[in-house]
């Protein structure tokens, strides 16, 4: 018989998980994806806990860190490292502007 190969899954899924999350990445809406897939994307640095996500039943898009999904992510060993790096980066102030000429040329 000429059996066709089964199609490759677009995103990893487990038997227990149903892809239900949509997310914004690089200016595009992606999904549906499972929580496990989103966790793996965070581990790879492709998205962060500040990435916007949505699924059926939510009134609007929210950052991952403002969803129930974050509690599961906090239990992952790699999460502590990623979260602390994210906090450190968010506290870095932007590079200051060069002083204007009027500020450097003091009148005497």
Cα distances (angstroms) measured from residue 2 to each of 5, 6, 91 = 9, 12, 60
Q: What is the pLDDT of residue 97?
A: 45
Q: 46 and 24 in contact (C-beta within 8 Å)?
A: no
Taking only the tens place, the pLDDT of each residue in 48-107 is: 999 999 999 999 999 999 999 888 888 777 665 555 544 444 444 444 444 445 444 544
Task: Report pTM.
Answer: 0.59
């Amino acid at each position: 018989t000429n059996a066709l190969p089964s199609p490759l899954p677009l995103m990893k899924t487990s038997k227990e998980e149903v892809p239900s999350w949509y997310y914004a990445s690089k200016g595009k809406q992606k999904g549906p994806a499972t929580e496990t897939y989103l966790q793996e994307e965070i581990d790879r640095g492709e998205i962060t806990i500040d990435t916007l996500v949505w699924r059926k039943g939510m009134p609007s898009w929210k950052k991952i860190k403002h969803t129930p999904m974050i509690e599961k992510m906090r239990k992952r060993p790699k999460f502590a490292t990623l979260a602390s790096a994210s906090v450190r980066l968010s506290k870095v102030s932007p590079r200051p502007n060069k002083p204007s000429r009027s500020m450097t040329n003091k009148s005497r």
